[in-house]
Chain A
Amino acid sequence: DVKVTQSSRYLVKRTGEKVFLECVQDMDHENMFWYRQDPGLGLRLIYFSYDVKMKEKGDIPEGYSVSREKKERFSLILESASTNQTSMYLCASWDNNSPLHFGNGTRLTVT
Chain B
Amino acid sequence: DAKTTQPPSMDCAEGRAANLPCNHSTISGNEYVYWYRQIHSQGPQYIIHGLKNNETNEMASLIITEDRKSSTLILPHATLRDTAVYYCIVRVARTGANNLFFGTGTRLTVIP
What residues make up the interface of A, taking CB atoms closer than 8 Å to B? 4, 30-31, 33, 35, 40-45, 48, 50, 56, 58-59, 90, 92, 94, 96-97, 99-105, 107
Among B79-93, those with CB < 8 Å from A are: 87, 91, 93
Given pairs A48-B99, A99-B34, A102-B45, 8 additional interface contacts (CB within 8 A): A30-B95, A42-B104, A94-B98, A99-B49, A100-B46, A102-B44, A105-B42, A107-B41
**Chain A residue at minimum C-beta to C-beta distance from B48:** A99
Q: Which residue of A lies closest to B100 (CB)?
A: A45
Are A50 and B43 also in contact (CB < 8 A) when A42-B102, A100-B34 are?
Answer: no
Per the bound structure, the CA–CA distance linking A12 and B90 in Å amounts to 34
Assess A105 versus B43: contact at CB under 8 Å? Given A48-B97, A99-B49: yes
| B33-58 interface code vs A (CB 8 A; 1 in, 0 out) | 01010000111111001000000000
- 26 CB contacts below 8 A, A to B, read A33-B100, A41-B104, A42-B87, A43-B44, A43-B102, A44-B102, A45-B100, A48-B97, A48-B98, A50-B95, A50-B98, A56-B99, A58-B99, A90-B44, A92-B43, A92-B44, A94-B98, A96-B93, A97-B93, A99-B34, A100-B91, A104-B42, A104-B43, A105-B42, A105-B43, A107-B41
